[in-house]
Amino acid sequence: MSWDAEGAARAIAAAKVSGIDFLEIALLDPTAIDAALGRRLLEEAELPAVCSLGLPEAVWASRNPEGAKDFLRLAIEKTAGLGATALTGVTYGGIGERSGLPPTDSELDNVARVLEQAARLAADVGLAFGIEPVNRYETHLINTAAQGVAMIERIGAENMFLHLDTYHMNIEEKGAGNGILQGRDHLRYIHLSESDRGTPGAGTCDWDEIFVALAAIGFDGGLAMESFINMPPEIAYGLSVWRPVAESAEQVVGDGLPFLRGKARQYGLI
């Protein structure tokens, strides 16, 4: 969760030991990222990367579009500087952003303007740009694959893609398979996250439904294992994670990674 010199070196070394194919780097504070150092470490390890984020409250796109544009501009610069291939996540808002009402036309108009500029800036430096629908407890703006598709098609940028997450789909979709099918034309990235955000395979997500749907649409994008073990307080608050979701990071990687790889092989995705 901290991409400083120590955190980057630790994450890259652990990824290489585990045979992980790529890293997702959380750009929680783009100003603190040493992009040149990170790029050198990633290139030395021959390890591709994707960057992700959620917008801080001060620059939520729904109510501060100019601030959101500035924040995303810097995040895109850092993503490109790291040599990553894409910036994705809750790029349209905050983790924990809820107004108490359904999204208004004004809020969605603000979001669309921000995303349109961000997608253009990303394209200018050769990056793909994603949006991740998240559940109703973390945002009121975009919760489902269909809502994500609607925003992407509203903007019409060729480098924009849909980023789904099995944890959120387990809450919001009428079956994860239906969400994958609804997003099929734009789906390029998916978080494989268990129902309690812990170790994949140890919860209630229907992994066969998920993988058979991915196989059915010919998915060839990023399969990212996601779990939350050690988090800074502001992220734990936004995600409403109040207890350990697994015994250790070693358990998540040691049990969850082989489980997901086995499913991906079973359904011909790797």
Q: Which residue has the higher pLDDT, 229 or 173?
A: 173
Average the pLDDT over 16-37 and give the result.
93
Tokens 């808002």 map to which residue? 93
- Close Cβ partners of 238 (under 8 Å, ≥ 6 residues apart): 54, 94, 95, 96, 138
pTM of the model: 0.95
Non-local (6+) Cβ contacts of 163 within 8 A are 88, 89, 130, 131, 132, 148, 188, 189, 190, 191
* 226 catalytically annotated: yes
Considering 24, 132, 172, 173, which one is annotated as catalytic?
A: 132
Q: Which residue in 267, 132, 127, 265 sits closest to 189, CA to CA?
A: 132
Active site residue 132: yes
117-140, pLDDT tens digit by residue?
A: 999 999 999 999 999 999 999 999
Predicted pLDDT at 193: 95
Encode pLDDT of 48-89 as tens digits.
999 999 999 999 999 999 999 999 999 999 999 999 999 999
The single residue of 24, 173, 194, 226 carrying the catalytic annotation is 226
Give pLDDT, residue 238: 74
pLDDT: which is higher, 63 or 240: 63
More confident residue, 215 or 251: 215
